[in-house]
Amino acid sequence: MEIRLISFSEKGYDTAAKISSRLSHLQKNRYDCIPYALEKYVKDDNARPLTYGLDEWSRKGFAEADALVFVCACGIAVRAIAPHVKDKTKDPAVIVVDELGHHVIPILSGHLGGANMLAEEIAELIGSQAVITTATDINKKFSVDTFAKNNDLYITDMVKAKEISSAVLKGEKIGFICEYDIEGNIPEELELAASGAEYDKNIRIGNSSEEDGYFLDLIPKQYALGMGCRKGKSFQEIEAMALKAAEDAGITMDDICILASIDLKKDETGFRELCKKYRIKSKFFSAEDLAGIPGEFSSSDFVSGVTGVDNVCERAAVAASDGYLILSKQSAKGVTAAIAKRDEKELKIRFE
């Protein structure tokens, strides 16, 4: 997850640097933090001087980063992001922190973008207060957006998702139809249902063909996209290969949970932009880890000479899915792709 931070004062820089350092050293999540500041305040080689305007910084951040953290007044952040806000399913998480680090305020993409969770994590790391304003959170109610994100589920209808959240806040019970094993305690706002006839509104996870009733379908993202590329390949070339692979496998990008590759490629801009655009997680493996994946894979002496393993995309797809290959290596213009599917028997739906 790429997080870009920006500050405009000396105290703001110190707070941004503290956040960046502590997030970067977390073991449970992989955060790549890039702090920006006015050149006169930059004290550390890891920070980058702001060499262009705030509007341009915000535009680039919306296109390329997973989260933006403004260490400044809320008004500055709101004006900076306003021209770039488009779609809650695509916009990055945006968080504001005051320059002394007293309050951490998520202002955009609280659920799907993960701003609320990140804000609470930052607050814990720097000893401050997270200010959460989303209705389901402050009322301690079930949030379909957060639930879907945590379980790698694709929300098929955002209008219905909003209607279900409204119903939850009104105290209505929502039917829950699930064909997979469930871990944890089902929240009180949901009731296990055998069909859509029992409740006015239902959340459905699975392959049920029942159509008579109100259903919000949440589709498990069961596929891993393994990719490799020559250094510096463009986002357009990487996206074209990913889309072709998905089409050849009979799926869409909405079905893909994770992009996987070798750790030599973790800084490829094209991979980062693909994950950002389609809200896909990423995972990178060492050559040693990939070489240890059991199975039969296509082999390339050239790839082995460059990376230390005979195949990247197929092995990475299987490693990330812990499943089996459904699309073998595809190659075009120096980009490779393969797709693996996780075993449905291993799929579990978890409630925190």
Q: Which DSSP string corresponds to 95-135?
A: EEE-TTSSEEEEEE-SSTT-HHHHHHHHHHHHT-EE----H
pLDDT-derived band at 197 (thresholds 50, 70, 90) equals: confident
Pairwise CA distance, residues 151 & 57, whole Å: 32
Three-class DSSP category at 141: coil
Q: What one-character-per-residue DSSP string does 152-177 give?
A: TEEES-HHHHHHHHHHHHTT--EEEE
Percent of the chain with pLDDT over 90: 79
pLDDT at 226: 97
CATH topology classification for 2-133 = Rossmann fold (3.40.50)
Q: Is the pTM of this model over 0.75?
A: yes
To the nearest whole number, what is the mean pLDDT of the chain? Answer: 92
Q: Which amino acid is at 55?
A: D
pLDDT at 300: 83
pLDDT at 25: 85
pLDDT at 301: 84
Pairwise CA distance, residues 312 & 306, whole Å: 11
Please compute the mean of the pLDDT values over residues 296-314 and round it to a whole number.
Answer: 87
Angle of CA points 3, 155, 131, to nearest 5°:
45
Task: Give domain limits for the chain.
Answer: 2-133, 144-218, 223-345
- Tokens in use for 164? 């279900």
Q: Which residues contact 339 (CB under 8 A, 6 or more apart)?
A: 223, 224, 225, 226, 245, 246, 249, 251, 256, 317, 325, 326, 327
* pLDDT, tens digit, 9 for 90 and up, residues 51-92: 999 999 999 999 889 999 999 999 999 999 999 999 888 899
pLDDT at 224 over 70: yes
CATH topology classification for 144-218 = 3.40.1390
- Tokens in use for 45? 């080689």
pLDDT at 27: 63
pLDDT at 28: 63
- Tokens in use for 222? 């069961």
CA distances from 36 to 105, 300, 305 (A): 19, 41, 37
* pLDDT, tens digit, 9 for 90 and up, residues 125-137: 999 999 999 999 9
What CATH class does 223-345 carry? alpha beta
CA distances from 182 to 192, 346, 352 (A): 11, 11, 11
